[in-house]
Structure 1
Amino acid sequence: MHAWPASEVPALPGKGRDLQIHDTATQGTITLDPGPVARIYVCGITPYDATHIGHAATYNAFDLVQRVWLDTKRQVHYVQNVTDVDDPLLERAIRDGHDWTELAERETALFREDMTALRMLPPQHYIGAVEAIPGIVPLVERLRDTGAAYELDGDVYFSVESDARFGAVSNLDAEAMRLLSAERGGDPDRPGKKNPLDPMLWMAAREGEPSWDGGTLGRGRPGWHIECVAIALDHLGMGFDVQGGGSDLAFPHHEMGASHAQVLTGEFPFAQAYVHAGIVALNGEKMSKSKGNLVFVSKLRRDGVDPAAIRLTLLAHHYRADWEWKDDVLDTAAQRLGRWRAAVSRPDGPSADALVEDIREALANDLDAPAALAAVDRWAALQQSEGGTDEGAPGVVSRAVDALLGVAL
């Protein structure tokens, strides 16, 4: 599976700062210190309805992580999956009378278009669950053969008790985990499971549903968590720098994935930091496909909204904050974009050296994008009120906003 084209990231003078970021597992801020190549895995979409503003907010957060790392003169190895076979996708295809593969391909293509328009940097490896199955099957077999997994009516489940560190990502108690498992694709009440929280690794073939050769597992399809583990281990290995996604992925998805990987390899940790973006609401409720209360990036673009204004709307909220989409947030972003473009269109202006460092400092401080926007606002206001004589300043501002915030002026 191919990703989307990359926009050029301008080089800035000097060097950026190492990223301090909130880690869900330790529940505190840690300083990331990758080697020459920083490694990041971000969980991708299930392509039955893409791309809403909640998605865009999440991918914007991890785009900023990449931009901070690139500014430190590191390379970035970014991997993202596509869950192109799963119950919600199959259910939507049946509901609408579509072939599930065509639905997945169409929505994935639309997601690529939205990411391109928003200037999100693409992953080096963009991997679908279906194409990852040959690498998933041996991992499930290993877990089963070592006693970390068991069969139940042909399905294969992972035993969470096989990982002594289970629970260390989300830091939730058993009852909270059980409730979230029921809400987020698990089956804690299925009879015969060793532990209600045990997640499915391999689903035996069901009549009328797609299935693949699973070797000694029999025909079936993979569970959600092992999909990402197989892709991450194959392309990044253990101990990569950031595992990212929305806050609703901390449990069960990232918790289970970490346990799968740690039991498979005998190593710890799966990721150095677990980073989670906040939830975007509409009309007082979380924006989600199941509720149908969605604001789509593609719809905004069709209505003539500048993608740079959409991106500025996302940047105006701290990535970890939950916030609510309202029409006025987009209006505010469009006005900001107009002020910034007017400011950099002049032939000279106030020195921008301090501004570049202010943006760097804000982003290195747990991706504080609102503080970075405020710094650019101050420069634009000074440009409007007083001007300046530095002929290179508008160009420096334009390149810095592009390189660090992903907004083309």
Structure 2
Amino acid sequence: MTTIKLHNTRTRTKEEFVPIKRDDVRMYVCGPTVYDRAHLGNARPVVVFDVLYRLLRHVYGADHVTYVRNFTDVDDKINARAAESGRPIGDITAETTQWFLDDMGALGALEPDHMPRATEYIPQMVAMIESLIAKGHAYAAEGHVLFAVDSWKEHYGKLSGRSVDDMIAGARVEVAPYKKNPMDFVLWKPSTPDLPGWDSPWGRGRPGWHIECSAMSYELLGESFDIHGGGNDLMFPHHENEIAQSCCAHPEGRFANVWLHNEMLQVEGKKMSKSLGNFFTVRDLLDQGIPGEVIRFVFLSTHYRKPMDWTEKKALEARQTLKAWYRGTDGVVASNNAPQDIVELLANDLNTAGAISEMHGMANRDEWSDLKASMQLLGLADSEHIEWFREDMNMASFNDLPDAGQKLWTLLGQWQSLRNARNYSEADQLKERIEACGLKLSVGVAGPEATKTEAFDPAKLEALK
């Protein structure tokens, strides 16, 4: 069996991945707060952990991997959006949740096995908070419940590599009279009548952000599971607080054995920011005509633990590369499995950039079946399902002449094969016959292309042998 090695943030080393149970591999990834469209940075962890999900399914079997990614659908940002728009909160979260799924689907991301919504797990959160109070790790004050960091001081900060004293000295934390320690964080907070709220032993209120993931992961994956992932901006305080809550509520477990964090995204070398005019949602790019496969390819071209720079040049280059790969793999039957070299590269801490490099070599060697299988493993859809590819290859102009378009597609493939075999004499003869039908042939970065002239005669093309 393939050995997977992953860089564990907790230990700061690359380790051999050994699941708790080989027939039950479990992964939890922090999902979005659903109040608006997902921006480009939100999409990076989705693609990163989608690749890991695909790799785990490839190695352990699809029936033996469980992937959970949550939706935070109770949050002050959602409340603010509802107040601004006058729309019901439920309508906003339902709409934006579907937006997220549609946009991530356009990037080729598989849907996780479970996609819990925070509002569906309020009773479980209340129960976990009650357990933390009973064990001396939390306390109620003025309608709030707070986690007492001092109760777990010797462990708190291990993931992010910070000590509690250093964090207190340099932290920007809410100073509130009901806090025993400035670092104590909210598990439950009161709700005013105009805000969402649920009955609890501490009055009508709503959960703090951090408790959501602890409660949902416990309910769906248990007190110990294999992998927890997310962007490195979540390492502190969110993931640090998750560990504290979960390990104190369920000391019999380890919570997550392996922690993976992806680096952040830039645009044209700068931090993405609305003030800089370089802020894009995924939907913005899709609506601009940048295909989801191209966005995914750009993401995959940089290792997940390195900062990724989105540039217009990279998107153009990715489109040309994919067009060439789709041209070569169109109609080709994929190998039964992706080549082991590709699997090993992905198994080496998700080295997608190395896999892309190896796939370039496959294309240069005309290893189209292996390339197609590799693309499938990386979540790049088959050419048969890519409309923009056929449009780029000038096939859209033949939509009203499907028979002629299919015939031309076949002939261009033959012409390309003759050229690849260096049989230039026959290739030139075939080119002359095709162009005699009123077409102009050329070879672009992605392979042969055909353009109609005024003399185009589809009947001649269909009759061509």
Amino acid at match of 2:221: L
Q: Contact between 2:109 and 2:379, CA under 8 Å: does it hold in 1? A: no
SS at structure 2 position matched to 1:244: strand
Asked if the contact 1:47/1:83 (under 8 Å) is kept, the reply is yes
**2:183 maps to 1:197:** yes
Aligned partner of 1:401: which letter? M
Query: In structure 2, do the counterparts of structure 1 residues 104 and 312 end up closer, same or farther at CA, with 3 Å as the change threshold?
Result: same
Task: Report the CA distance between 1:355 and its aligned residue.
Answer: 7.3
Give me the whole-angstrom Cα distance separating, in 1, the residues matched to 2:50 and 2:333.
30
Cα deviation for residue 407 of structure 1 reads: 4.1
Who is 1:154 aligned against?
A: 143
CA change 1:151–1:348 in 2 (3 A) is closer
Question: 1:145-183 deviations in whole A, cap 9, x for unaligned?
Answer: 22211122110001122224211211123466458864x
| AA aligned opposite 2:130 | E
Q: 1:43 to 1:66 in 2, by over 3 A?
A: same
Residues 364/77 of structure 1: CA separation in 2 closer, same or farther (3 Å cut):
same
Say if 1:354 and 1:96 are closer, same or farther in 2 by CA, change over 3 A. closer
Q: Deviations over 1:340-386 (max 9, x none)?
A: 1122237699xx89971221111111101010000001111222xxx
Shift of 1:259: 0.8
> Partners in 2 of 1:204 and 1:70 — Cα distance?
42
Q: Which residue of 1 aligns with 2:92?
A: 103
In the aligned structure 2, how far is the partner of 1:173 from the partner of 1:292?
37
> Aligned residue for 1:370?
353
1:141 aligned to 2:130?
A: yes
Residue-by-residue CA offset, 1:319-359 (whole Å, 9 max, x unaligned): 1111222211211211110121122237699xx89971221
Q: 2:375 matched to 1:401? A: yes
Partner residue, 1:172: 162
Distance across 2 between alignment mates of 1:355 and 1:107: 35
1:201-240 paired onto structure 2 within 5 Å: 201-214=187-200, 216-240=201-225
Query: Which residue identity does 1:305 align to in structure 2?
Result: I
CA distance 1:206–1:354, change in 2 (3 Å): closer
1:346 and 1:106 map into 2 onto residues whose CA distance is 37
Q: Specify the alignment match of 1:58 in structure 2.
A: 45
Which residue matches 1:48?
35
1-side partners of 2:149 and 2:276: how far apart? Answer: 31
Code of the aligned partner of 2:135: T
* Amino acid paired to 1:136: M
Amino acid at match of 2:217: A
Does the 8 A contact of 2:338 with 2:377 survive in 1?
no
Identify unmatched segments of 5+ residues in structure 2.
384-465
**Helix, strand or coil for the counterpart of 2:198?**
coil
Aligned-residue offset at 1:275: 0.6
Give the Å deviation of 1:203.
0.6
Displacement after TM superposition at 1:231 (Å): 0.3
How many angstroms apart in 1 are the aligned matches of 2:171 and 2:262? Answer: 20
2:15 to 18, 25, 30: 30
Quote the offset at 1:124 in angstroms.
Answer: 1.4
The structure with the larger Rg is 2
RMSD of the alignment, in Å?
2.5
Instruction: Using the aligned pairs only, state the percent identity.
Output: 35
In structure 1, list runs of 5 or more residues that go unmatched.
Answer: 1-14, 384-392
Question: 8 Å contact 1:19–1:68 — kept in the other structure?
Answer: no
Q: Given the superposition, is the C-alpha separation of residues 47 and 355 from structure 1 closer, same or farther in structure 2, using an over 3 Å criterion?
A: closer
Give 1:211 deviation, angstroms: 0.7
Partner of 2:102 in structure 1? 113
